[in-house]
Structure 1
């Protein structure tokens, strides 16, 4: 099964967050870096629904998995 490509901005929209490039940059800057020992969905910056969406995307290797991996990497950099 082929997974559709979701742009980074679309992931932020799916999470109910501002999705323009500047807002994404600020979100990552404000909420990162997340320590390696904390799974992305367990980071304190997510509400319950956001965390569940991220958890499902990772566990089920959903259509969103690749862009969620990108978000994970972005939030761990400094």
Structure 2
């Protein structure tokens, strides 16, 4: 077997032993665990118009945002303009 592949495999298996929190790893973790989900939640919340606001059904179609975050089928886009 190729020694480079063996070395790569050993590195992958033992990666958790050599992990250190650095500024870079902290920023990446923050981005993937906090910033991205918060951004997606904000996007979904701001573009969602529901019956909670007491708006009639006719007006709802005019107030819906640019993106429709509700269930889609394969091939459908989220853009609604």
TM over 0.5: same fold?
A: no
Q: Give TM-score scaled by structure 2 length.
A: 0.29
Larger radius of gyration between Structure 1 and Structure 2: 2
TM-score between both structures, scaled by the size of structure 1: 0.29
